[in-house]
Amino acid sequence: MTDIQIRTEGRAGRITLTREKALNALTYEMCLAIDTALKDWAEDPAVEIILIDAEGEKAFCAGGDIVEMYQTGIAGNYDYGRKFWRDEYAMNARLATYPKSVVAFLQGFTMGGGVGLGCHAAHRIIGDSTQIAMPECAIGLVPDVGGSHILAKLSALHPGAGAWLGTTGHRLKAMHGLFGFADHLVAEAQWPALKARMSETGSPHVPPELEGANLAAQADFYIQMRGIAAHFEKPHTEIAASLAADPSDLAQAALKALTRADPLATACHIEILRRLGPSSTIHEALTLEYRFTHRCMEHGNFLEGIRAAVIDKDKQPKWPHAALAEVTEAEVQAMLAPLGDDELTFPEDTP
């Protein structure tokens, strides 16, 4: 497959995304290939560590390849998207529960499906070019691929933070990615040697001298984050008004992003985070996400979101709700209700 390179080097199983011109967006076939490799290597004693990376400077992975979902969806075929998500989520769960060390190198855009591929790894390495975000609400989707699992953990530590990042798609740049999505900031010039060392030794160890985080600057960001997150602790009907009363640049940027996002998806994401807690599992998060994504083309606004952002590129989606405050509790509950026989299930080897 030309979109991905899967091989072994030394003691490492290597997965490299090679769709540089498409910002390494994940196709359905790539998801299946990754999952197959992970299953094979789990039982291979010669493979002690998994390294996931991508070609190009612009992006590790900017998301999933959603054009085919749009094309099949507007034709009335919702099964393709549902199958894509179901199998992708199984791969996300496998990564999060994998029995061997997984290391991900996340340069440039790491968004949506890229978060699902890279940020469930046990060891997540970012650089100065990294920009991590979950921008799904802007296209009528909820942060998925297990992103709500990460955001729920953030919210447990910093109330409202997960809702802020998930509803606005705020980009965590460079060392700000250490806020829940990454573990190490290492200069990207050091990555080739680090990958070679890991492949040779089978160890995910990152030498302390390679760490590049500025702790003082991180502390400044945490202070900013706590201020903006406080707005998102409120009921979804009150968030926009709270932001409007805050003249800070960060609050006004959040308000602008919030008013552009799909109100239904935004309200549903907030509810997903409310249901998840600090002890929730990746499986619980993916199950809630799948209830929404299973319905989002037929009963939600995902197709309109893709049309406006990717197909026509007019950036003027016509959402059924004019504002977040208009979304009712009944509408949210309907999108997140159990799916019966269609409920998401996981392979037995993703405990």
Q: Flag whether 194 is in a domain.
A: yes
What's the domain range around 330? 4-342
Tokens of 278: 């600090």
What CATH number does residue 251 fall under? 3.90.226.10
* Cα gap 280→274, rounded to integer Å: 11
Please check whether residue 136 is in contact with residue 265, taking contact to mean a CB–CB distance below 8 angstroms: yes
How many domains would you assign to the chain? 1
**What are residue 277's DSSP bridge partners?**
none
Catalytic residue chosen out of the listed positions 136, 271, 304, 331: 136
Please check whether residue 131 is in contact with residue 252, taking contact to mean a CB–CB distance below 8 angstroms: no
Please check whether residue 94 is in contact with residue 35, taking contact to mean a CB–CB distance below 8 angstroms: yes
64 is catalytic: yes
Please check whether residue 95 is in contact with residue 102, taking contact to mean a CB–CB distance below 8 angstroms: yes
40 is catalytic: no
Q: Flag whether 40 is in a domain.
A: yes
Catalytic residue chosen out of the listed positions 48, 53, 144, 304: 144
Parallel, antiparallel or unpaired: strands 123-126 and 101-106: parallel
Q: Flag whether 74 is in a domain.
A: yes
114 is catalytic: no
Catalytic residue chosen out of the listed positions 63, 113, 146, 177: 113
Q: Flag whether 155 is in a domain.
A: yes
Catalytic residue chosen out of the listed positions 63, 64, 81, 166: 64
305 is catalytic: no
Q: What is the pLDDT along the chain (351 residues), one digit of tens a residue?
A: 689 999 999 999 999 999 999 999 999 999 999 999 999 999 999 999 999 999 999 999 999 888 889 999 999 999 999 999 999 999 999 999 999 999 999 999 999 999 999 999 999 999 999 999 999 999 999 999 999 999 999 999 899 999 999 999 999 999 999 999 999 999 999 999 999 999 999 999 999 999 988 877 888 888 888 899 999 999 999 999 999 999 999 999 999 999 999 999 999 999 999 999 888 999 999 999 999 999 999 999 999 999 999 999 999 999 999 999 999 999 999 999 999 999 999 988 877
Cα dihedral 323, 265, 171, 27 in deg (nearest 10) = -140
Whether the pTM exceeds 0.85: the reply is yes
